[in-house]
């Protein structure tokens, strides 16, 4: 594997090593928090605080891992000298990336409701803007097609939106019952989408060739599932024709 191949698996590696274990911990703490609040279960008073703190890290981590994926896909699509749009477009995309990261950090630190709402939307818009680039693979952009609902990218965009909702509405979730119910509903949906992301992400990894294989596989007709025949190999000790 070359360096570019290691960059390609950086996103799934971070998801497997960091995000999915954290999902399990946060879900477990969430169940315990509800049991303590609703059923009066004898659990440590710190359970709710730990759920909130780790939930914030999970939400921010999901956004960060998605940004890593989009950055790698766009940056490795072509050498900078051959980058579509040249240095000007590369600079614009870099500004969008930096702005999205700043918006996420601001959302993390913000306390006022209006500011949290604005920067949650800015962060989500930044993710969608980077994902809309032609270098980012999507099965379909048409929600009336089945492929759209099977797209790893669009499911990831939905999960990012749910994570930003949880991160941005944390004070309201802690104070109001209706917000907690909405939070639970959103997180149940997010859990389902995380399972689908694990399946579609594994599927997509099967379709990503190693860097040195890409030029050959690009000649394949994926609709008819036909690839050009391999070049004939010479006899041992002889050069190929």
Q: What is the mean pLDDT of the chain?
A: 89
Statement: residue 216 has pLDDT above 90 = no
Kindly list the distances between the CA atom of residue 28 and the CA atoms of 31, 149, 178, in Å, as whole numbers in the listed order. 5, 28, 21
Packed helices 86-109 and 47-75: angle between N→C axes, nearest 10 degrees: 180
pLDDT given at position 211: 78
pLDDT given at position 225: 79
Signed CA dihedral, 130, 135, 136, 141: sign only: positive
Provide φ and ψ at 138, rounded to 5°: -140, 140
DSSP 210: -
Long-range contacts from 180-185, C-beta under 8 angstroms, 24+ separation: 184/30, 184/34
Note the residue count of the chain: 241
pLDDT given at position 231: 62
Statement: residue 240 has pLDDT above 50 = no
Least confident of 179-183, 184-188, 209-213: 209-213
**Please, which pLDDT band fits residue 54 given cuts at 50, 70 and 90?**
very high
Model-level pTM?
0.87
Which residues on neighbouring strands pair with residue 226, listed in sequence order? 221
pLDDT given at position 241: 40
Token digits of residue 4: 């570019």
Mean pLDDT of 4-11: 87
pLDDT given at position 218: 76
Instruction: State how far Cα 108 lies from the chain centre.
Output: 18
Statement: residue 6 has pLDDT above 80 = yes
Mean pLDDT of 57-61: 96
**Helical (H) or strand (E) element with 71:** helix 47-75
Q: What is the DSSP string of 133-171?
A: STTS--S-S-TTSHHHHT-HHHHHHHHHHHHHHHHHTHH
What is the spatial distance between Cα 221 and Cα 226, in angstroms, rounded to a whole number?
A: 5
Packed helices 47-75 and 152-168: angle between N→C axes, nearest 10 degrees: 140
Specify whether the CB–CB gap between 67 and 97 falls below 8 A: yes
Specify whether the CB–CB gap between 97 and 71 falls below 8 A: yes
pLDDT given at position 12: 93
Instruction: State how far Cα 176 lies from the chain centre.
Output: 29
């Amino acid at each position: 594997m070359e360096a570019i191949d290691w960059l390609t698996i950086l996103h799934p590696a971070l998801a497997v090593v960091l995000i999915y274990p954290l999902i399990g911990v946060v879900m477990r703490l969430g169940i315990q928090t509800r049991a303590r609040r609703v059923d009066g279960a004898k659990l440590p008073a710190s359970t709710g605080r730990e759920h909130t703190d780790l939930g914030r890290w999970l939400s921010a981590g999901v956004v960060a891992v998605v940004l890593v994926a989009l950055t790698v896909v766009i940056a490795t699509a072509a050498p900078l000298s051959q980058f579509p749009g040249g240095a000007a477009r590369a600079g614009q995309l870099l500004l969008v990336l930096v702005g999205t990261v700043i918006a996420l950090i601001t959302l993390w630190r913000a306390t006022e409701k209006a500011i949290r709402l604005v920067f949650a939307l800015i962060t989500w818009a930044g993710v969608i803007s980077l994902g809309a680039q032609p270098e980012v693979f999507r099965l379909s952009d048409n929600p009336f097609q089945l492929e759209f609902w099977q797209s790893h990218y669009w499911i990831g965009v939905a999960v990012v939106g749910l994570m930003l909702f949880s991160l941005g509405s944390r004070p309201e979730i802690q104070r109001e019952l209706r917000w907690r119910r909405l939070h639970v509903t959103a997180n149940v949906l997010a859990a389902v989408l995380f399972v689908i992301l694990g399946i579609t992400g594994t599927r997509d990894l099967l379709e990503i060739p190693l860097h040195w294989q890409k030029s050959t596989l690009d000649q394949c007709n994926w609709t008819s599932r036909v690839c050009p025949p391999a070049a004939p190999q010479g006899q041992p000790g002889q050069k190929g024709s």
